[in-house]
Structure 1
Amino acid sequence: MGTAEGLRSAGRTWTLGSCGTYLGIAAITWGMVLWVEVDAWTYHYSDQGDYTWEQARNFCQTFFTDLVAIQNQQEIEYLNKSLPYHGRYYWIGIRKLGSTWTWVGTQKALSKEAENWAEGEPNNRRSNQDCVEIYIQRPQQSGKWNDEPCNRKKKALCYRASCQPFSCSQRGECVETIGSYRCECYPGFHGPECADVLQCAKLEPKGVPMNCSHPYGDFSYNSTCEFGCHKGFERQGAGVLRCLPSQEWSANIPTCTAVTCPVLRAPDQGEMNCSHLHGDFSFGSTCAFSCQKGFVLMGPESRECTATGIWTGDATRCEATACPVLSAPDQGEMNCSHLHGDFTFGSTCAFSCQKGFVLMGPESRECTATGIWTGDATRCEAISCPVLSAPDQGEMHCSQIHGNFTYGSMCAFSCQTGFALVGLQSRECTALGTWTGDTPHCEAVTCPVLRAPDQGEMNCSHLHGDFTFGSTCAFSCQKGFVLMGPESRECTATGIWTGDATRCEAISCPVLSAPDQGEMRCSHLHGNFTYGSMCAFSCQTGFVLVGLQSRECTALGTWTGDTPHCEAITCPVLRAPDQGELNCSHLHGDFTFGSSCAFSCQTGFVLIGSDRRKCTATETWTGDAPRCEAIKCSALTTPKMGQATCFHLHGDFTFGSTCAFSCQVGFVLMGSESRECTALGTWTGNPTHCKAISCPVLSPPSRGQLSCSQLHGNFTYNSTCTFSCEEGFVRMGAEMLQCEATGNWTRDPPVCAEDGAFLKQVLAYSSSSALAVAGLVLSGGLIALLAKRLSDREEKRKLLKPTSDLGAPGTFTNAAYDANL
């Protein structure tokens, strides 16, 4: 059960009222409700029953506004002092949405400055603490916040907002404050309750129609004024102005200017006069048009600029006055010049006549401004020639194109049967008024003079004169010739002989042809292959004629003798060379003129001589007889310190030759043991040489020197090495070693030991037993030293291969390795 108490703070009275005021409503569903009132803003909490965070918010939203939204530290202090202590504390209106702590009533994120977390909070223990409680009357950190799981049950801490739906005149945002609220006015409004509206300057446009809308008063915030223009005028500037929160209009007052039309120009050959009411070529402007003399206006005489910016009517123009179209006179020509269009004012036309005609009328005419041509129509008349008549014994027929016996008239002349026209068959009237040619006349018809045919005779009889109408001629031929054509001919009235021309043709023999691979030359007296023709025969180079050299065509139409022919000349038969082959082609028979034989050799042999021979017209072959010789390889030499044994099949060091190589004692063969000369002229294998067998490399003994003579290379076969010791040392072993053919030295290398002089002093003062002991000790030491030396060398030798690269057992050639021993 809540209690009431009074608190005065900051000049205002806060009261904690009894729960009885709200008990009747709250107890229906939730049980006892306690409240705290601060003027219009009141806090409420549940006295009975605890709720989860969602249930607590549902409780607050059902009976009040929402879970409390704490705005400042003063409010926290008030709540902590006024509310009773509860062991589970109170839910407030903060919850984690996503990963952000948010005031659920306003959906605004909790700012860093407004945070009031208890020390170490929020800690999100167990990762499920998404709701917030406030510590009321807690011994430590009272009034601080703590994050808790939303399913835990606590007291609901509610508030009833002091802001109402019509607070701030609905012209601003109502912000809750402790004990009251304040208005944050929207742009354009001011005053405690945002009831006052900002004013803009009154608009007074001149000559521009305006229509305004004032939602909050004349020319106040959000007033809009729409501007237009009269017909024929267009607006310059914004069409709508709005009063802004800055108490300025959104734009300047627009103006109206007259609509303009495109600028007009006076038409060519014309003039234009315009009047402008509102400016040049703008709405209401009118323009009148006229044309110069000789021109007519096409289109409206005046045009006006309309409200749409378009001129009335179509574009005007001045066209030249037209005259009737002129044409050239018959048999004449016309050339015109036009200034303003074809056959219009100012056009001039000049006239002329063709050859044989004369111009009748003015030579030129001009089109006037009245559309009429100057002068009369022109024409061309034909020139006249003298009148003609028909010749005696003849007739005349004329064609008159331009009038009787005028320019271009044509007259044709002809004679009666048996007469021929002498002169032109026709005459024409020229442009000079004269006729072409002389006057013709008719004479008796004559036939061409005939002649006796070649190799023949002619006999004629003449009735009306030599070779005239009625004359007849008879024809005959000499021996060996035959008459071709009619035996007689007669001259007709047309001046033509009957029949075709006669001739005497020589009797023909069969046509001859040249023999194959031969030629024929003929002489023809009376025509090809006719009586008296003679043909001579010959053969081409490489061929011989068999038969007569010439034949003659007789009067019987046959040739003398038989037909000759040409045979190819024969060469001696050829054979393939030894170790070779022969391949021949024969054009005219085996081994005859033109036959060609190609020679080749077997592998390992080369052809000496011509690789091809040809049978000539002289019965001989070109070139010399070829032969096949074995291909040669370079001569091989016996290797130094070795022997070579060669076997030659086809000559010294030629194809098929083989050579075997060996070396003397103490030397080993390097390269192929045998080589063969190939068909390419090269030897198989690699060049051979004899290399001296190597012995192990020797080194000077300790405290000694080594001097060697090398005959065939360092430490090789027959090399000798001499050993010596320094003063105070004596050589133990051979003085000289020689390298043998086995690759071993004749003996083991010697060693240098200290001289035995000190031993003699010891023996001089010692007994015989002591001397014996010393001798034994010295001998044993020398023997042990020598055995150690030999043992070391034997150990090193075991590291070498048992077989050398030369394949000889016991011979070692690793000089680099031996040198290190």
Structure 2
Amino acid sequence: MAVQANWQLGGCRVEAAAGRGSAGRARALGSPGICYLGIAAITWGVVSRVEVGAWTYHYSDQGDYTWQEARNYCQSFFTDLVAIQNKQEIEYLNQSLPFHGRYYWIGIRKLGGTWTWVGTRKALTKEAENWAAGEPNNRRSNQDCVEIYIKRPRESGKWNDEPCSRRKKALCYQASCQPLPCSQRGECVETIGSYRCECYPGFRGPECQEAVQCTKLQPEGALMNCSHPYGDFSFNSTCRFRCQEGFEQQGAGTLRCLASQQWSADAPTCTAVTCPVLSAPDRGKLNCSHLHGDFTFGSTCAFSCQTGFVLLGSERRECTATGTWTGAAPRCEAITCPVLRAPYQGELNCSHLHEDFAFGSACDFSCQRGFALKGPESLECTATGTWTGDAPHCEAIACPVLSAPEQGELSCSHLHGNFTFGSMCAFSCQMGFVLMGSESLECMATGTWTGDAPHCEAITCPVLSAPEQGELSCSHLHGNFTFGSMCAFSCQMGFALRGPERRECRATGTWTGAAPRCEAINCPVLSAPDQGELNCSHPHGDFTFGSMCVFSCQMGFALKGPESLECTATGTWTGDAPHCEAIACPVLSAPDQGELNCSHPHGDFAFGSTCAFSCWTGFALKGPDSRECTATGSWTGDAPHCEAIKCSALATPVMGQAACSHLYGDFTFGSTCAFSCQTGFVLVGPESLKCMATGTWTGAVPRCAAISCPVLDPPSRGQLSCSHLHGNFTYNSTCTFSCEEGSVRMGAELLCCAATGNWTGQRPVCAEDGVPFLKQVLAYSSGTALAVAGIVLSGTLIALLAKRLSEREEKKKLLSPTSDLGSPGIFTNAAYDANL
């Protein structure tokens, strides 16, 4: 197969022709590069390509593929399906690519509802769209791939969305960006015939080799340490600052040179560390000196107190580099008297002019409720540090004496004396009696008790009732539901008693045990069968006596067992729990020359089973590629089969024969054809061809060429007339020789090209004739000459002439260059005539 190409790419014009096993190479006109054009046969078909030192395009010359097959093809042999970057590129492709009725796939696909360039995973921008009028139409949900119209009568070079399963040409590109381009500081962008660098922020230049610079930093009063990865004070330079001891930094501690040629912040400054402002203590004075500003690093302050007060703490403090003062803040305290305490069961209330219990403090005394003060009510601290008198005390107030109630007991505790304020008396009764009244009495501050004395009565328990779904039976010794009463509990059929069967009223007025209850008898908990559902009603609680459960199965499953169960009074169900089985479909088998791959989520060849069909190499699937078992027990679709892939029918070469063997049908995968030629012809091309799995033959059909003989030239003083059936001087060509007047032919008049590639005799020669009488007659050969002479002569002359001619012919045969009596040779005219 030969391909003629004439393409223009990036200023490089290529004109070349390539045939089987050859490749064309052309020199670039008007550009410094070299362009290469070649044809290569691969598994996917025949590939045509143009290569330059930058971006190159490639397309599948024969094969038509689905979109995914086209991308696999491009990624296998090149970079990817083409990514259209600009209008110039579209115009170039529309001019350069050949027309194809199904057009070409390009590298755009709808991913997650967004049209996306698959090579870069970037979304298609509105500015870059090149849709044909009315596209994309989205008439069907599977139109997710894009083709480009090439040489279309209308809207050539525009895009259209198509189902990805359609078959079209693959339009590929080979990237020109090499590894580590653009100094690794930018993104390499492909262009037609070249590329350009889009520098990352902070870099510039054709190859992004330069970093942008910021202004040089020269801080005042601060120490600076910088690192420069791309040059002094350039992009990503980092400078760190610090201040001397006693000074603090105002501003960012680290600055970085940004891509905008600006620093990330202003340069910082150093100011003296500030300590908290100090003030004079109460009743005191403050005197300070400042080196770097009020209350900053190096400032010192001296403290003193007024007359009558004493200084507690540091007399001098200094502001340190940490922003703190040495020592603690001093204070001026007044002279104090001994600390006073509140009397026992009393209170102390003081007013302090300067400090607690210091000069000028006054204290008032009082007693708590229930106590009386014995001594002065108030004292004052004098200038000598002593109080104006002795401290007073408090005595408890008394209540009337108490006695124990009848059939009871009394127990008292006395905090401040028998039956005085705070005394506590507790009352209790004998077993079987309960105290009516306060359990305890307390002596109050008024000298009276908190209540009246209590008495004892017999104990009563709460009234009991029968549990729900149960019964109650009681006996009473000392009255209804009193101490010693006994009650028995029972439940109705289908219920069980939970709690004590008997309860007794105790002396504490409570029943023994907790109140029992009647609970419905439980059955085992039921669950929905796999692939099924459970619907229950519970009158007395989940899965208890009287519960009713109904079972059902999901679509595609059948219930095996009872449809409903009821919980009985014995705690068992009326039957065994059913289960759901998947509805079965007929068993499938693989097609001839094919394979079957199934998944069975619910059992072999049952509802939900999915079976995928495929064919061996060299066979194509006819019918659905997968089938699914439905809820009706039948498979979707009809059973597929595998058919051998067909090659084109081969023709028998002219003057030749073809013998073919077919494994799977005429001219299908595996068919083999052997070629031969008739006698006189030789085979040009392969002796045999085989149909491959791609539907193509292993080569081109051979031809039969006629065997050639050596080219003949006319003899000297003679002429040559030839007829050629199969080509000049080839098998079955015939050549007739004749001589000019006055010359005689020596040799055969007629030569034929044989199947061996040789002529049937030697080329004759024309010799001068020395016998005038026979000059014209000898121009003829053999019997033909005698026949002509016989027409014009007669009598004795004819006889003499016949005798002379016969003798002369015999001598010619003996002396002929082709005679078996001697070696081949060429005679002169004189020698030849003498022998005659």
Q: TM-score range by the shorter chain?
A: 0.3 to 0.5
Q: Considering only CA atoms, is the larger Rg found in Structure 1 or Structure 2?
A: 1
Q: Could you tell me the TM-score, scaled by structure 2's length? A: 0.36
Q: Could you tell me the TM-score, scaled by structure 1's length? A: 0.37
